Amino acid sequence: MSEGPIIETRDLRKVYRVGKVDVQALRGVDLTVTAGEFLSIVGPSGSGKSTLFHIIGGLTPPTGGQVSVAGQDLSTMTDADRTRLRKRSVGFVFQKFNLLPNLTARHNIAVARYIAGNRGPLEADFEDVLLLLGVAQRLDHKPAALSGGEQQRIAIARAIVNHPAILLADEPTGNLDSENSKAVLEVLRGLNERLGQTILMITHNPEAAAYGHRTVHMRDGKIISG
Amino acid sequence: MRARLVFENLKHRPMRSLLSILLMGVPVTLILALVGLTQGLLQDSQRRQQNTGADIIIRGSTASGVVSFSGAPIPEKVAARIEQLPHVKLAVGVLNHSIDPPLVITGVDLARFDRMSGGFVYKKGGRLKHPDDILIDEAYAAQTHKTVGDTVTLLNKEWHVAGVIEPGKLARLAVELPVLQDLDAATDKVGQIYVKVDDAANIDTVMRELSDLETGYKINTLEEYVAMYTPDKISGVKEFTIVIMVLGVVIGFLVVGLSMYMAVLQRTREIGILKSLGASKGFILTIIEAEAMLLGVGGTILGILMSFGACWLVRTVVPASIPMIIVQSWWPTAGLITLAGAGFGALYPGLNAARQDPIEALAYE
């Protein structure tokens, strides 16, 4: 784990407008994540962990406070700036895998590279990553022909193919059985240990959270411990 | 990669894609069929005029347009007078009577017309011998399933088919001139006079001589007359073609608009995925537009293929009434009209997709 902070939030706030009611999803979150760290974020539903995930990932802007990812200040970014951030600096892994159903696994990975502007063939060392993920032989199948565990490992491959500064995983084992959950968590730990990939993982599962170096607990839009 | 994404998206829902292509092909077929009908009719008429062997045509002073279906404003003796002019080899008056537009029955002095044109080519039977004899061309014979020896009823009269002629010269249906004059109460009158000059070099001279006669009739060289056969000269065709083209754009717009709107709704989550990967608004919009364009290209190709089907059907069922042709030069126009409709139609759903909030899109079930 290296020492510099790769994610830093100060008094981060987010207010959603639901009908005529303002909902405070984040009420001043201070968080520092160092490069190469594997951080687990736990908390009950409505605690604000997904909102934090979305802001750090550049999917939505904050309402107030400061947030920087890989040295980029997200609080002043335009929509187009956040789109560029998602291209190169952030990789997402979702609970529902979110692979494009029309494309094979190989092309799901390729489309992420294409959007990021990488047109050449896959780097040789990424072939090793695919072996590590255990999906090298499953690349020519479409998502419907893959098991949940395989789909999630393809999603992880897609998330890291552009060498993002951070990998954001939102309940990555939420749709998997215990065997596949373990395999996916081992993969995430392997990526963190072998490649130094910074990972933020949201989870409800304490066993899954234990794979991280550190666990942050959230409640009512605030970090209560960690 | 973008092309693959577009292609796979269309392939993923084949029924919707095929239906969209089919619906977009319909206006292409309509446009091409209309143009094929118009041009076919004109080309057929041009060919039949050119093969008369005449160099000059004289029409009544009130003749309007080029496709003259009836009327007998010229005394027959004018033809005799014209024949007296120097360099005029032959002047043959004919009378047309419209039976079922654009079908026309033509009265002609067959012996004189043979001298001018070289005569009809008889595929079956032979020349007119009796007053109730009629010659029909192969197209009319095919359309009505008539042949030599059969009877056809036209102008409230039963005609005996004396011969089946090769199409493409003067008339589809020909009878002796006096017989038609009698039926039309146009004794000694003709509708137009074809003039043959002794030498093509003398056509201008004869034209001047005819003008000097100050008959008031419309006089044109056959070359000029044939050149007048354009859709603009047929009342309403140009306007109708424009209406069909506008309909083509509107149908393309609606079909693609609805299809892509449904596609965007069904693919909301996929759009969210692309956005989470960093796809820009422009990227999403171009994907939707490219899909619409591909549907438009498919619709154009299918529409062209269907126009061949329509042409075959028309030429099989009514070859004499509607001599439809395939007008290849209109393919790009029909394609552009379809693509314009598709492009505009995809704009609203495309912009909607591009503006999707990635979080809401990812949460879409």
Q: Do A102 and B269 touch (CB under 8 A)?
A: no
- Mention every residue, 6+ apart, whose C-beta is less than 8 A from residue B187: B181
pLDDT over 70 (residue A111): yes
Mutate to test the interface with B, among A59, A81, A94, A163 (most CBs of B within 10 A): A59
Confidence grade of residue A3 (pLDDT, cut at 50, 70, 90): low
Chain B: closest CA distance from residue A199 (Å): 17
Closest alpha carbon within chain B to A55: B359
Residues A26 and A221 sit within 8 Å (Cβ to Cβ): yes
Confidence grade of residue A218 (pLDDT, cut at 50, 70, 90): very high
Residue matched to tokens 């102008």: B155
Q: What average pLDDT does range A87-114 have in this prediction?
A: 92
CA count, 13 A, side-chain hemisphere, B54? 31
Alpha-carbon distance of A160 to A72, in angstroms, equals 19
Confidence grade of residue B286 (pLDDT, cut at 50, 70, 90): very high
Q: What average pLDDT does range A200-206 have in this prediction?
A: 91
Residues A87 and B276 sit within 8 Å (Cβ to Cβ): no
pTM for the full model? 0.78
Closest alpha carbon within chain B to A110: B1
> B61 exposed, middle or buried (CB, 10 Å; 0-12, 13-18, 19+)?
exposed
Q: What average pLDDT does range B223-227 have in this prediction?
A: 88
The predicted-structure confidence for B118-143, as pLDDT tens digits, reads as follows 999 999 999 999 999 999 999 999 99
pLDDT over 80 (residue B355): yes
The second-level CATH assignment, the architecture, of A5-225 is 3-Layer(aba) Sandwich (3.40)
A16 shares contact with chain B (CB less than 8 Å): no
* Mean of all residue pLDDT scores within chain B: 88
> Domain map of chain A by residue range?
5-225
Give the pLDDT of residue B70.
56
B276 shares contact with chain A (CB less than 8 Å): yes
Q: What average pLDDT does range B189-203 have in this prediction?
A: 92
B3 shares contact with chain A (CB less than 8 Å): no
Alpha carbon distances (Å) from B180 to A149, A152, B154, B355 = 89, 87, 11, 73
Q: How far is CA B156 from the centre of its chain?
A: 29
A98 shares contact with chain B (CB less than 8 Å): yes
Confidence grade of residue B212 (pLDDT, cut at 50, 70, 90): confident
pLDDT over 60 (residue B64): no
Task: Report DSSP state, residue A76.
Answer: G
Residues B364 and B266 sit within 8 Å (Cβ to Cβ): no
Instruction: Specify which of A183-192, B37-46, B79-88, B295-304 reaches the highest per-range mean pLDDT.
Output: B295-304
pLDDT over 60 (residue A120): yes
Instruction: Specify whether the backbone of B167 is left (phi greater than 0), alpha (psi in -120 to 50) or beta.
Output: beta
The predicted-structure confidence for A6-40, as pLDDT tens digits, reads as follows 999 999 999 988 888 989 999 999 999 999 999 99
pLDDT over 90 (residue A128): no
Residues B229 and B238 sit within 8 Å (Cβ to Cβ): no
Q: Which of B1, B276, B359 sits opposite A86 (nearest CB)?
A: B276
B272 shares contact with chain A (CB less than 8 Å): yes
Residues A54 and A9 sit within 8 Å (Cβ to Cβ): no
B269 shares contact with chain A (CB less than 8 Å): yes
Give the pLDDT of residue B302.
96
Confidence grade of residue A166 (pLDDT, cut at 50, 70, 90): very high
Element housing A33 (H / E): strand A21-34
Reported for B111-120, long-range contacts at CB under 8 A and 24+ positions apart, including other chains, are B113/B52, B113/B170, B115/B90, B116/B52, B116/B53, B116/B54, B116/B90, B116/B92, B116/B194, B116/B196, B117/B51, B117/B52, B117/B53, B117/B54, B117/B169, B117/B170, B118/B53, B120/B163, B120/B165, B120/B166, B120/B169, B120/B174
B236 shares contact with chain A (CB less than 8 Å): no
Give the pLDDT of residue B250.
84
Q: Which of A110, A115, A158 sits opposite B283 (nearest CB)?
A: A115
Q: How far is CA B210 from the centre of its chain?
A: 34
- Report residue A193 as tokens: 């240990």
Give the pLDDT of residue B265.
84
> Domain map of chain B by residue range?
2-43+235-363, 61-216
Q: Do A111 and B283 touch (CB under 8 A)?
A: no
Q: What average pLDDT does range B239-249 have in this prediction?
A: 81
Q: What average pLDDT does range B162-172 have in this prediction?
A: 92
Alpha carbon distances (Å) from B20 to A80, B23, B24, B299, B344 = 33, 5, 6, 8, 15
Closest C-alpha among B340, B229, B355, B238 to residue B292: B340
Chain B: closest CA distance from residue A114 (Å): 7
Chain B: closest CA distance from residue A130 (Å): 19
Q: What is the ipTM of this complex?
A: 0.91
pLDDT over 80 (residue B39): yes
Output B89 or B62, whichever has higher pLDDT. Answer: B89
Q: What average pLDDT does range A144-151 have in this prediction?
A: 92
